[in-house]
Amino acid sequence: MLLASILLASTVAATPSVRAVTLPEALAYARDRQPRIKSALAEYAARRAEARVPRAQWLPQVGATAQLFVATSNNTTASYLGVPEMDIPRIGGSKSMTQSTATWSPSASTIAGVGVGQEVYDFGRISAQIAVADANAAMAKAGAEVVALDVALGVEESFHAVLAGKAVLAATQDAYKRALTHRDYAQAGTKSGMRPPIDLTRAQADVAALQVRLVQAETGLRTSRAALAAAMGSDELEIDAAETAPDLSLAPAFDEAMRTAAQRNPAIVAALARRDAQHAAVSAVTRELLPNLSASAALTGRAGGAAPSSGAADVPYGDGWLPDVANWHVGLILQWNLFDATVLARRAAAKAHEDAARAELDLARMSVGLAAERAWLELDAALKTVPGLQTAVDAARANQAQADARFKAGLGTIVELADAEALLTNSQLELAVGQFTVARTRAALGRVMAQTTGRKAP
């Protein structure tokens, strides 16, 4: 009796310290806190940021440069380096290149300027790059939806596992209490000589076995609560599931389930986005062989300290140390990569990746279809078994009541009572497992159909 009191008291005392949540609360918490969802959303945000990169090519580019050199100037009286930030037209006089006039004496050369470059017409190159980036963002979004659905499925399964664990614990506790009562009856009957000693030993054996099962049931419940906390992404060690009525509503029509899964499942959406991205990549690489038209404008000041080849004796003020000779330009630049074997090889590789993406799409559609069919069949079968399990519990409860009455009246044996108790306990456990199977398969079907969880029916 002392051990029984300790076991029952420990179960009752542990319950209030564990926070209980409803299924919608658990799902909402997971959406906000689950690290897997946060990681997937961060990846999606990064892809969206990358999608803005090719669009920025339509914005003007403004650059500036300032350069100072001390060097020989046997080729030009103004020396400067080309920089990617701005276009610098070639202006300057050339000195003679004969050996007799060449000199190794340095002269100063300076240049400073500011320029603007603007894309005018790209023949679809930027649009193709944008399509690739958008498709990659769509893949990341679909991937985030896959993660969100997987997390929701884990939360639902863990939530209903807690409910099943509580049902198992309650059935075990009831059986344990009845076993204690039967043992006491057997003990009293044995002392009075109304019962054979075998009744008492059998009752004691039943109590000992149920003590073990009670510990196992409590441990299983605590494990389920810990799994629910982990699935939600909570720092708490355990989270309890608030009691809720089992959802025994009918499964959706088979054709509807298959059609919805084919249209909304994020695995298919991701495969479609991957195929579109590879197709856009082929177009983007191909358009690298097309012309590109851009505009350029700049205002520069430059000066070289060497005397020009025209024979003029004057050099700019400052002897090349001050860029005081002003120039400006406005122009259009047409560039055309007529042949590039590397680009052609990259295009062939992109086409191969596109073929692979099409094959992945076909595989995803087949896998989703099989998963939807299996989930629907499992849910349908689970729903059909619950009424029979409930009938079995009702019959077993009536049988146990009759066996208990016969035992107390001295008409039944302890074996008959033990069989009735085992039948009742097992039928209650099977009903709990059956209800859990319905909830689990309903959640699995909702996962395949990509529907919001925490509702009555998928």
What pLDDT is stored for residue 311 in this prediction?
Answer: 57
How far apart (Å, rounded) are the C-alpha atoms in residues 18 and 359? 49
What is the rounded distance in angstroms from the CA atom of residue 431 to the CA atom of residue 454? 22
Residue 271 domain-assigned?
Answer: yes
Residue 252 sits in a domain whose CATH number is 1.20.1600.10
Report pLDDT for 69: 64
Q: What is the mean pLDDT of residues 433-454?
A: 84
Task: With CA atoms as reference, report the closest residue to 433 among 171, 208, 175, 173.
Answer: 171
Of 1, 431, 406, the C-alpha closest to 179 is 1
Burial class (CB in 10 A: 0-12, 13-18, 19+), 360: middle
Contact between 169 and 221 (Cβ < 8 Å): yes
| 147 occurs within a structural domain | yes
Flag whether 143 is in a domain. yes
Closest CA to 228 of 219, 218, 238: 238
Model confidence at 109: pLDDT above 80: no
Give 385-447 as a DSSP string: HHHHHHHHHHHHHHHHHHHHHHHHTTSS-HHHHHHHHHHHHHHHHHHHHHHHHHHHHHHHHHH
What is the rounded distance in angstroms from the CA atom of residue 247 to the CA atom of residue 403?
A: 33
Q: Which two tokens stand for residue 130?
A: 């944008």
Q: Which pLDDT does position 112 carry in this prediction? A: 84
Q: Please provide the average confidence, as pLDDT, over all residues in the chain.
A: 82
Helix (H, G, I), strand (E, B) or coil at 305: coil
User: How would DSSP label each residue in 4-60?
Assistant: HHHHHHHHHHHSTTS-EE-HHHHHHHHHHH-HHHHHHHHHHHHHHHHHHHHHGGGS-
Which residue, among 321, 326, 367, 424, has the nearest Cα to 109 in the 3D structure?
A: 321
Does the residue 327 lie in any domain? no
CB 155 within 8 A of CB 232: yes
pLDDT in tens, 355-406: 999 999 999 999 999 999 999 999 999 999 999 999 999 999 999 899 888 8
Number of domain units in the chain: 1
Task: Note whether residue 137 is domain-resident.
Answer: yes
Predicted local distance difference test score (pLDDT) of residue 308: 65
316 assigned to some structural domain: no
The pLDDT of residue 458 is above 50: no
Q: Which value, in Å, is the radius of gyration of the alpha carbons in the chain?
A: 41
> For residue 65, what is the enclosing H or E element?
strand 61-71
Evaluate whether residue 419 is within a structural domain.
Answer: yes
Instruction: Say what percent of the chain tops pLDDT 70.
Output: 85
Residue 450 has pLDDT above 90, yes or no: no
pLDDT score for 75: 42
pLDDT value for 105: 72
The answer to whether the pTM exceeds 0.85 is no
- Residue range 290-335, pLDDT digits in tens: 888 888 888 888 887 776 665 555 677 777 788 887 888 888 888 8
In the prediction, which pLDDT does 187 show?
Answer: 86
Question: Which has the higher per-residue pLDDT, 96 or 132?
Answer: 132
Question: In the predicted model, what is the mean pLDDT of residues 124-135?
Answer: 88
Confirm if 115 and 63 have CB atoms less than 8 A apart: yes
> Would the pLDDT of 197 be above 90?
no
Give the pLDDT confidence score for residue 101 in this predicted structure.
55
Q: Is the residue at 32 inside a domain? A: no
Query: In the prediction, which pLDDT does 111 show?
Result: 80
Q: What integer is the mean pLDDT of 414-439? A: 90
For residues 298 and 408, what is the distance between their CA atoms, to the nearest angstrom?
A: 108
Tell me: pLDDT of 44 over 60.
yes
Average pLDDT of the residues in 429-456:
82
Q: Is the pLDDT of residue 4 over 60?
A: no
Beta bridge partners of 334: 293
Q: Residue 193 pLDDT more than 60?
A: yes
Domain that holds residue 136: 127-281+344-449
pLDDT score recorded for residue 326: 82
- Supply 397's token pair: 């409860």
Provide mean pLDDT across the span 164-180. 91
**320-327 CB contacts, 8 Å cutoff, 24+ apart:** 320/107, 320/108, 320/109, 320/110, 321/68, 321/108, 321/110, 322/110, 323/110, 323/111, 323/112, 325/301, 326/299, 326/300, 326/301, 327/89, 327/91, 327/299, 327/300, 327/301, 327/302
Q: What is the pLDDT of residue 53?
A: 87
Write out pLDDT tens, residues 249-279.
888 899 999 999 998 888 898 899 889 889 9
